[in-house]
Amino acid sequence: MSKPGRLKKKKQKQLEASQAKNADRHILYQKSVQDTETEIVLMLEKYREIRGKDPLSFREDFCGTALLSTAWCMGDDRRTAQGVDLCEDTLAWGREHNVKPAGSDVTSRIELVNGNVLAVKQPGVDITCAFNFSYSVFKTRDILRQYFEAVRKGLNKDGILMLDIFGGTEAIDCVEEDREVEGEDFEFVWHQEKYNPVTNEILCHIHFKFDDGSVMENAFTYDWRLWTIAEINELLIEAGFSRVHVYWEEYEDDGDEDDEYMVGTGNYIEVTEVENQESWVSYIFAEV
């Protein structure tokens, strides 16, 4: 290759490297993974259905950047939130980028605690949530039951624990799955690197791929146990919850006559039996 050609390639490489290098992994995560509006609508709808009133106090376990806690408090000036996370750097990022910009009225109703969800005492709340499968860090029945017991003790008498869970025939496949993020210049990549059928442990990563070809590898890594709905159900009852509801997303035809492709409607209904799918995300809500 001629010298100018080499230089051009070098410059191009530097440019490519910079897009991934300059990106902030928390912003990328929030844009590609989190959908606080949908989660809040679902929490309110199901809480009202079960309890016949509005929830006001909220605890977000494994809160990360506390985006959900902030959105919760912004939606109604009577609402309060407590967010708990082990990682002080992530909490600090959330304080700076999510909580503070929401203004002093919101800031005064959010408490962020740097600690272990197993140990931090709950203030007595209407809802505790652990979303994006974060409780999967607990890999034994004993520890997960201990976590559920701690949550139950910290809920009001009308309190509800809200969890999400994923599964399906593809959930144990070691694959990389790319997804475009609407209106953004990057793709979200979910990478299941390992699955151990003896323990049901999985090792997963999130990578971000940019339009210029650069990649932010292992932006987040999760060393989890893949729990089943049945196991979670049993452990919630063993931990003293009185009733468990499982919600499954309704699907409809995508309208294209040339295929049999189904799309989620965003509407979740309570189920006791369903047909398995290649991949699904479901919700489990447990009453005190």
Residues that bind ligand SAM (CB under 6 A): 33-34, 62-64, 84-87, 90, 116-118, 131-132, 134, 137
- Please tell me the total number of residues recorded for the chain in this structure: 288
- Name the minimum Å distance from CB 61 to ligand SAM: 7
Q: How many CA atoms lie within 13 A of 243 on its CB side?
A: 7
CB closest to ligand SAM, residue no = 64
Q: Which helix (H) or strand (E) holds 283?
A: strand 280-287
DSSP lists the bridge partners of residue 111 as: 82
Q: What angle do CA 262, 263, 267 make, to 5 degrees?
A: 125
Instruction: Indicate the residue among 150 and 246 with the shorter CB distance to ligand SAM.
Output: 150
Helix (H, G, I), strand (E, B) or coil at 79: coil
Q: How far apart are the first and last CA of the chain?
A: 70
Instruction: Indicate the residue among 113 and 271 with the shorter CB distance to ligand SAM.
Output: 113
Q: How many CA atoms lie within 13 A of 107 on its CB side?
A: 11
Instruction: Indicate the residue among 89 and 105 with the shorter CB distance to ligand SAM.
Output: 89
Instruction: Indicate the residue among 147 and 241 with the shorter CB distance to ligand SAM.
Output: 147
How far apart CA 111 and CA 115 sit, in angstroms, is 12
- Name the minimum Å distance from CB 157 to ligand SAM: 25
- Name the minimum Å distance from CB 245 to ligand SAM: 20
- Name the minimum Å distance from CB 138 to ligand SAM: 8
- Name the minimum Å distance from CB 120 to ligand SAM: 8
- Tokens standing for 181? 């993020």
Instruction: Indicate the residue among 71 and 236 with the shorter CB distance to ligand SAM.
Output: 71
